[in-house]
Chain A
């Protein structure tokens, strides 16, 4: 288990064993048709909800509730998509989700790696206490804090602002832990040669360590982006303005604002799923690794 977590946590050069894990993949194993058959059935079952949502979204609305259930209707129509795109809510949700996720991801990577660099590379008084406090945050259930956190936002006058959605999501201890584990694995000689040159701590961090930390940066960025993009409870609690709704929050109001028009609702669900689904299809490997390696520490 620890070996696996280390694949992101340490630079490949420092861990020759990590590379060998991937090589065993393509090895032929006695599997047989049965294994394939079971897997294909399971995969089809897993894909049916997607397929059914797509099929429904392409039907005329009045045919969606026809019985007995049918995968096809009298015609294939994009009417549902037309009216959804015409209403335009989805574009505002896209924009809000993108804005919040990009800012949260950028700040998390920057501030998390800065702190991790300090904890890993600089001996300063109080660092053990600080690091312990941050690591302890891993077991704090964010969901249990929505009431006091909302009160705090209210006191700060931030309710119904982007900052209220963004700031608490930046304070994620996982990012610090992943970066620190990575920095801990970088050989000391690199740092000493930089110190001789008289470079400042900031320059050592920014010009030497961060370029080396690309694997950790990618993992933290992917993980943070997906989690933030999909976070429901916090934006739901801290915003009431429809103009600030992110995709998960906006889609949760669909039943009250769109009625029981299932073709439109499924079209919305698909449009809401689309951005991350496309990203996932394009970068499957990176996203799976980024989420699983980082999520292990959450």
Chain B
């Protein structure tokens, strides 16, 4: 500050070049000074771990402190033949395949319906969004309780209706479904508010015009709402797929990846190799491969999304 004021008070003849020069230097310094604190943290705790994973994946398993032996691509060779790893990758994909459709369709339907309600929209938004602000552990405690055999609420009602009980958490065929149901209940609200916001961007004049042309409610949804909501829908799908691929918390806490490892997701496998087997080199290789897969899928999906957004006229 002081230097700038000085430069303004120097003689009129050389104030231009020197003042401009000094201002340029000040600008360089100010830019770096403001951006550096964030970037240092960002580099240390986001970029560096990626580089560290790539580097450590080339060494044999050892805890920090001990001497690690260079193993080249040996960890990657092992990983290729590791059936447990590929099974865990499949569980992650399966969770994504099962959770994405209901997490697009249900919030879409709810938003379409709520958008037709004149008063009290906030009440429904409250009901559908409230679970989203809860910590995962609360979700798991409550759903574990709901899913209990015999005295659990769900099985209790099934019995009362004369139906057979379902072994929600204990059977390989249903455990993943149970986690998906709990996840849909938990996170639906996020996609719901995205859809609701997208719906409220659609100009009402379009509906008015359609109404004068005699279009009924269903025709309006079919020919106006859904086409204009397509960009929102694709965006929600992309965000949902990426979020689902990162699943760990609720499967780990509700099922510990069981029964019999049948739901163990990729991140849990990485976690176990790193923190219970202490195979740091191998866990780093697993981390790096998983990292590359997620980044590749994200880049592909977002590139597709951008192409689609450019193709359709912006609303």
Q: Of the candidates A21, A112, A124, which one forms a contact with B28 in the assembled complex, judged by CB atoms under 8 Å apart?
A: A124
Indicate if A214 sits at the interface (CB-CB under 8 A).
no
Whether B30 lies near A124 (C-beta < 8 A) is yes
Residues of B close to A36: CB separation below 8 A: 117
Whether A167 lies near B270 (C-beta < 8 A) is no
With both beta carbons as reference points, the residue of chain A lying nearest to B314 in the complex is identified as: A2
Known contacts A140-B46, A266-B142: A112-B124 contact under CB 8 Å: no
**Which residues of chain B in 134-160 are interfacial with respect to chain A, using CB atoms and an 8 Å cutoff?**
134-138, 140-143, 145-146, 148, 150-153, 156-157, 159-160
In the docked arrangement, what's the CA distance between A110 and B156, Å?
A: 51
Indicate if A220 sits at the interface (CB-CB under 8 A).
no
In the docked arrangement, what's the CA distance between A154 and B119, Å?
A: 55
Residues of A close to B93: CB separation below 8 A: none
Taking the closest CB of chain A, its distance from the CB of B40, in whole angstroms, is 9
Q: Interface residue tally of chain B, by bracket? A: 35 or more
Residues of A close to B5: CB separation below 8 A: 198
Q: Which of B10-18, B96-104, B166-174, B246-254 contacts A (4 or more CB under 8 A)?
A: B246-254
Whether A141 lies near B290 (C-beta < 8 A) is yes
Q: Of the candidates A35, A199, A265, A272, which one forms a contact with B116 in the assembled complex, judged by CB atoms under 8 Å apart?
A: A35
Taking the closest CB of chain A, its distance from the CB of B277, in whole angstroms, is 11
Indicate if A96 sits at the interface (CB-CB under 8 A).
no
Residues of A close to B239: CB separation below 8 A: 295-296, 298
Whether A152 lies near B302 (C-beta < 8 A) is no
Indicate if B260 sits at the interface (CB-CB under 8 A).
no
Whether A46 lies near B47 (C-beta < 8 A) is no
Indicate if A43 sits at the interface (CB-CB under 8 A).
yes
Q: Of the candidates A47, A139, A252, which one forms a contact with B137 in the assembled complex, judged by CB atoms under 8 Å apart?
A: A252
Residues of A close to B271: CB separation below 8 A: 146-147, 237
Whether A115 lies near B35 (C-beta < 8 A) is yes
Indicate if B262 sits at the interface (CB-CB under 8 A).
no
Indicate if B53 sits at the interface (CB-CB under 8 A).
yes
With both beta carbons as reference points, the residue of chain A lying nearest to B298 in the complex is identified as: A139
Whether B38 lies near A122 (C-beta < 8 A) is no
Interface string of A282-297 (1 = CB under 8 A from B): 0011011001100110
Residues of A close to B253: CB separation below 8 A: 232, 252
Q: Which of A60-68, A78-86, A184-192 contacts B (4 or more CB under 8 A)?
A: A60-68
Residues of A close to B140: CB separation below 8 A: 252
Indicate if B209 sits at the interface (CB-CB under 8 A).
no
Whether B156 lies near A148 (C-beta < 8 A) is no
With both beta carbons as reference points, the residue of chain A lying nearest to B42 in the complex is identified as: A171
In the docked arrangement, what's the CA distance between A46 and B182, Å?
A: 11
Residues of A close to B204: CB separation below 8 A: 24, 27
With both beta carbons as reference points, the residue of chain A lying nearest to B141 in the complex is identified as: A269
In the docked arrangement, what's the CA distance between A272 and B135, Å?
A: 8
Whether A171 lies near B45 (C-beta < 8 A) is yes
Indicate if A39 sits at the interface (CB-CB under 8 A).
yes
Known contacts A30-B116, A115-B38, A141-B290: A1-B270 contact under CB 8 Å: no
With both beta carbons as reference points, the residue of chain A lying nearest to B291 in the complex is identified as: A144
Residues of A close to B131: CB separation below 8 A: 46, 49
**Which residues of chain B in 24-64 are interfacial with respect to chain A, using CB atoms and an 8 Å cutoff?**
26-28, 30-35, 37-39, 41-42, 44-50, 52-53, 56, 64
With both beta carbons as reference points, the residue of chain A lying nearest to B159 in the complex is identified as: A68
Indicate if A149 sits at the interface (CB-CB under 8 A).
yes
Whether A122 lies near B31 (C-beta < 8 A) is yes
Indicate if A150 sits at the interface (CB-CB under 8 A).
yes
Indicate if A280 sits at the interface (CB-CB under 8 A).
yes
Taking the closest CB of chain B, its distance from the CB of A166, in whole angstroms, is 10
Whether B35 lies near A254 (C-beta < 8 A) is no
Taking the closest CB of chain A, its distance from the CB of B194, in whole angstroms, is 6
Whether B248 lies near A69 (C-beta < 8 A) is no
Whether A230 lies near B119 (C-beta < 8 A) is no
Q: Of the candidates B1, B121, B287, which one forms a contact with A199 in the assembled complex, judged by CB atoms under 8 Å apart?
A: B1
Whether B30 lies near A25 (C-beta < 8 A) is no
Whether B130 lies near A277 (C-beta < 8 A) is yes
Known A46-B131, A49-B185, A254-B137; 5 more pairs at CB < 8 Å: A65-B151, A124-B28, A140-B295, A147-B273, A277-B134
Offer 23 A-B interface pairs, CB within 8 angstroms, sorted by A: A1-B231, A1-B315, A22-B200, A49-B146, A53-B141, A66-B151, A114-B35, A114-B37, A122-B30, A125-B28, A133-B47, A139-B298, A144-B246, A148-B287, A151-B280, A154-B64, A170-B45, A171-B42, A171-B45, A200-B4, A254-B137, A265-B145, A277-B134
- Chain B interface (Cβ < 8 Å from any Cβ of A): 1, 4-5, 8, 26-28, 30-35, 37-39, 41-42, 44-50, 52-53, 56, 64, 110, 113-119, 121-138, 140-143, 145-146, 148, 150-153, 156-157, 159-160, 185, 190, 193-194, 197-198, 200-201, 204, 207, 217, 231-232, 235, 239, 242, 245-246, 248-249, 253, 267, 270-271, 273-275, 280, 283-284, 287, 290-291, 294-295, 298-299, 302, 309, 314-315
- Chain A interface (Cβ < 8 Å from any Cβ of B): 1-4, 21-22, 24-31, 35-36, 38-39, 42-43, 46-50, 52-53, 56, 64-69, 111-112, 114-115, 117-119, 122-127, 130, 133-134, 137, 139-152, 154-155, 167-168, 170-171, 173, 176, 198-203, 205, 226, 229-230, 232-233, 237, 247-252, 254, 262, 265-266, 268-269, 272-273, 276-277, 279-281, 284-285, 287-288, 291-292, 295-296, 298
